[in-house]
Amino acid sequence: MKKEQEGALSGYRVLDITDSNGAYCTKLLADLGADVIKIEPPEGDPGRRIPPFAGDTPHPEKSLHFLHRNANKRGVTLRLDTMEGSNILKRLVTTADVLVDNSPPDYMEKLGLDYSVLSEINPGLIMASITEFGHSGPYKDRKGSNLVDFAMSGIMITSGYPGKEPCLLPGSPAYDSASVHASVSIVAAIYMRGTTGQGQYIDTSVHVTSRTGLYPWIIPNYSYALNPGGPPPTSENRMGAQIYPVYPCKDGFIRIIALTPRQWDALVRVLDNPDVLQIEEWRSFMYRIGNADDLYALMLEFTTKYTMRELFEAGRREGVPIAPILNIADFYNSPQTKAREYFVEVDHPVAGKADYPSPPYKWTETPATMRRPAPCIGEHNEEVYCRELGLSTDNLASLRGGGIV
């Protein structure tokens, strides 16, 4: 961990009142050096109960989902639905640049903590709201979930095998789509504030951003197939491995991205020029899609002669992208991952030491790296409330006694 080095967003303070569904938004900012203070209720963010756990023992400090998505942040506890709690939040707002929340519509307003109130306390405040279905509209009060939002986004119908049930993308794709969009608009607002001195309010929803952000092409794919006066085109559906075919090899599976005739020719060379693959028709991508089953039967004989790595490297040499389908451990152990030092050891006081995925980029001036483990419940209460906000230790003790922190 490289705690001492400055990040691109060092010097900015972000108040994070999101739960596990918005945690990736503030993680992106924390990875770049922002001082992200996670604010959770005294009993802990419900996200701390998401399995699996380090060591497989359920424990609020050991949820892997929580540990990953809250690394690089500090953490305090605060009950926002009390007068004292909301007053403390307002004091924190005077020291903050950004506040992110993913509470349901109207919730912040009910607490008296909506943007109109907070921006009066701090006109430079950038407040970003992530809701499930938006602050208004016919679905505003509906219940979502990662699976449900992913289903409605339009990408799920293209995931999995034709004839079988559509398949969820692992992780939290719908929520993370909202998180990355919120984060984009937050850094844009920070940059803009450099000129205007003014904060602003940002509104994103999981429903809209997963529709527009995860697979934007499905809309033009449909729209470009519409012809005036003609019948409406069929909506895009699951195509299994037809576009990006998968074949078994000696020690696993490979995925081939052969789109152009040139890439197909390279693939034929990779497989040592079998006669049956040198028939002119196979050079056409559309022909290969139309005859995918026949091609699969033919290809088996050749791809199974090689290992994933042999095909990956031969593809590189001949000019056709071939990917090994690695499992999670294979990626961790891959020479590229090692060379880039992508996994970084982090020592958490309760969960212990382990290698974590680090931010997905290397920066020359301001490293984006692992600075600290995810906070324990209330770990930084004293640091933030007493040393930084100036509450006395007696004050803090009475807040603790009252169940406020």
Q: Is 200 in the site for another protein (CB under 8 A)?
A: yes
Residue 284 per-residue DSSP state: -
Q: What is the x/- site pattern for another protein, positions 162-181, by CB under 8 A?
A: --xxxxxxxxxx--xx--xx
User: Could you tell me if 345 and 355 are in contact, meaning their C-beta atoms sit under 8 angstroms apart?
Assistant: yes
Residues 218-237 that bind another protein (CB under 8 A): 218-225, 232, 235-237
Q: How far is Cα 400 from Cα 381, in angstroms, rounded to an integer?
A: 10
Which one among 276, 360, 393, 402 touches another protein, defined by CB under 8 A? 360
Which one, 85 or 213, has the nearer CB to another protein?
A: 213
User: What are the residues whose beta carbons fall under 8 Å from the beta carbon of 204, sequence distance 6 or more?
Assistant: 128, 129, 130, 131, 178, 181, 182, 185
The region of 75-83, 98-106, 328-336, 379-387 touching another protein under the rule CB under 8 A is 328-336
Q: Which amino acid is at 319?
A: G
| Angle separating helix axes 206-213 and 173-196, nearest 10 degrees | 100
From the list 152, 146, 76, the residue with the least C-alpha distance to 399 is 76
Q: Is 22 in the site for another protein (CB under 8 A)?
A: no
Q: What is the x/- site pattern for another protein, positions 59-98, by CB under 8 A?
A: -----xx-xxx-----------------------------
Q: How far is Cα 94 from Cα 184, in angstroms, rounded to an integer?
A: 23
Residues 232-291 that bind another protein (CB under 8 A): 232, 235-241, 243-244, 246, 248, 253-255, 257, 259-261, 283-286
The region of 82-90, 100-108, 298-306, 360-368 touching another protein under the rule CB under 8 A is 360-368
Compute how many other C-beta atoms are within 10 angstroms of the C-beta atom of residue 278: 11
Q: Half-sphere exposure of 118 toward its Cβ, with a 13 Å CA cutoff?
A: 32
Taking the complex as a whole, how short is the minimal distance between the CB of residue 401 and another protein, in angstroms?
A: 30
Which one among 14, 17, 271, 351 touches another protein, defined by CB under 8 A? 351
Q: Is 191 in the site for another protein (CB under 8 A)?
A: yes
**What secondary structure does DSSP assign to 120-143, as a single string?**
HH-TT-EEEEEESS-SSSTTTT--
Taking the complex as a whole, how short is the minimal distance between the CB of residue 261 and another protein, in angstroms?
A: 5
CA torsion sign for 73, 76, 77, 80 is negative
Q: What is the x/- site pattern for another protein, positions 93-132, by CB under 8 A?
A: ----------------------x-----------------
Q: Is 49 in the site for another protein (CB under 8 A)?
A: yes
Which one among 334, 395, 396, 400 touches another protein, defined by CB under 8 A? 334
Which segments of 197-225 does DSSP mark as H helices, in order? 206-213, 218-223
